[in-house]
Amino acid sequence: MSLDPATVRRIARLARIHLDEAEVPRLQDELNSILGWIEQLNELDVADIAPLTGPAQMALKMREDRVTDGGIRDAILANAPDRAGEFFVVPKVVE
């Protein structure tokens, strides 16, 4: 598998990363070499092995349905780039 320049630009846009056109060939090379490295996994025969979500052979731990958090608005908003009173503020996004 190898990525063409259009796919590299598309991945960048989906990730909201600005790319100068000059950067595309370098990133294309880097991504392709990463993909090539990952593709070595395809050499393994996993036909009889169940898919694995994580390395730990255990199930998800569950929590009781109790309110134990929240009520910390100032801490939540402390790092907001912009805020107005009790809200986060962002550039207008309207569909």
Partner 1 sequence: MSYVIEGSTGAWEVVIGLEVHAQVVSQAKLFSGAATAFGAEPNTQVSFVDAAFPGMLPVINRECVAQAVRTGLGLGAHINLVSRFDRKNYFYADLPPGYQISQYQHPIVGAGVIEIELGDGSTKSIGVTRLHLEQDAGKSLHDQHPTKSYIDLNRAGVALMEIVSEPDLRSPEEAGAYLRKLRTILRYLGTCDGNMEEGSMRADVNVSVRRHGEPFRTRCEVKNVNSVRFVMQAIEVEARRQVEIWEAGGAVDQETRLFDAARGITRSMRSKEEAHDYRYFPDPDLLPLVLDEAWVATLKAALPELPDAKRRRFMDEYGLPFYDSAVLVAEQATADFYETIARGRDAKLAANWVMGDLFAALNRTGRTIETSPVSAAALGALLDLMADNTINGRIAKEVFEAMVDTGEAPGAIVERKGLRQVTDTAAIDEAVTAVLAANPEKLAEYRSGKEKLFGFFVGQVMKAMAGKGNPALVNAALKRQLG
Are 19 and 5 in contact by the 8 Å Cβ rule? The answer is no
Tell me, residue by residue from 41 to 80, as one string, x for binding to partner 1 by CB under 8 A and - for no binding.
------------xx-x-xxxxxxxxxxxxxxxx-xxx---
Instruction: Give me the least distance between CB of 75 and partner 1, in Å please.
Output: 8
**Residues 19-38 within binding reach of partner 1 (CB under 8 A):** none
What CA–CA distance (Å, rounded) separates 87 from 89?
6
81 binds partner 1 (CB under 8 A): no
Buried-exposed string 67-77: b where 16+ CB fall within 10 A, e elsewhere: eeeeeeeeeeb
Q: The tokens of 3 are what?
A: 């990525």
User: Which residues bind to partner 1, rule: CB under 8 A?
Assistant: 13-14, 16, 53-54, 56, 58-73, 75-77, 82, 84, 86-95
